[in-house]
Amino acid sequence: MLYPENMSIGLEQPEVNGFVTGKFVPEVVEDSRRDRHLAVTVELVPGVAPSEKITRIAGEAILTHLLRLNSEYAAYVPQHRQTPDIRLRETGDPGCFPPGAKHRYTRG
């Protein structure tokens, strides 16, 4: 079971929080081989463009705290699939974080 509060702590870390708003949407996605893995779409602060650096540090921070706080994830997700796929979106991305809408941790 994934709990958003386990992942939000990663995004609150000093190395990450200057780049992100704290809004994110976690999903379990299936690849072409039908393997499942965690994908996390993260909203960037205004004026920050997506980059490999932000993707890497956000992914590392989320994984560190997810493994620390969620024993089920650490024990049952194969190690080679534990690192989340981070998808960065600019502030107010209409498909993920529409302005004026209440933030939700699920897609509908």
User: Structure pTM?
Assistant: 0.90
Cα Dmax for the chain: 38
Distance between CA 61 and CA 104 in Å, rounded? 21
Token readout for 90 is 């600019």
Q: Enumerate domains of the chain plus CATH numbers.
A: 4-89 (3.30.300)
Token readout for 48 is 């920050």
How buried is residue 31: exposed, middle or buried, by Cβ count under 10 Å (0-12/13-18/19+)?
exposed
Distance between CA 7 and CA 59 in Å, rounded? 10
Q: Are 8 and 24 in contact (CB under 8 A)?
A: yes
Q: Print pLDDT tens along the chain (108 aa).
A: 678 899 999 999 999 999 999 999 999 999 899 999 999 999 999 999 999 999 999 999 999 999 999 999 999 999 999 999 999 999 988 888 878 776 666 555
